């Protein structure tokens, strides 16, 4: 869900574009994720009047608020990665991992 949200945050995307950009995701898993995100009010689904029919997904204002929180989490992770890695080394040294 986090990766999907980040990919459609700045501009609407079509299903197949998302599927190409998310390595290893199955069509079923992406479809389930998008349906749940739509149900939660994080994205909108728009059927485009094309032949064949295309569907486009866009982030809602509610989804944008979640994206902002995820940005903060990403900044925290980047700022503290050295501390996390040091803690892991200490832990592994104590427990023999």
CATH number at residue 63: 1.10.10.10
Q: Are 16 and 30 in contact (CB under 8 A)?
A: no
Tens digits of per-residue pLDDT, 7-55?
Answer: 999 999 999 999 999 999 999 999 999 999 999 999 999 999 999 989 9
Whether omega before 95 lies within 30 degrees of 0, making that bond cis, reads no
Provide the domain limits for residue 17.
2-95
Count of domains for the chain: 1
Angle in degrees, CA 44, 66, 4, rounded to 5 = 55
pLDDT at 94: 94
pTM as predicted: 0.81
pLDDT score of 97 more than 80: no
């Amino acid at each position: 869900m986090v990766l999907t949200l980040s990919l459609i945050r700045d501009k609407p995307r079509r299903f197949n574009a998302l599927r190409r950009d998310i390595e290893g995701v199955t069509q079923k898993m992406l479809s389930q994720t998008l349906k749940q995100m739509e149900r939660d009010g994080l994205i909108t689904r728009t059927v485009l009047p094309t032949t064949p029919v295309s569907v486009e997904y866009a982030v809602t204002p509610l989804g944008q608020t979640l994206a902002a929180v995820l940005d903060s989490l990403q900044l925290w992770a980047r700022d503290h990665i050295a501390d996390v890695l040091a803690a892991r080394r200490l832990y592994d040294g104590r427990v023999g991992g």
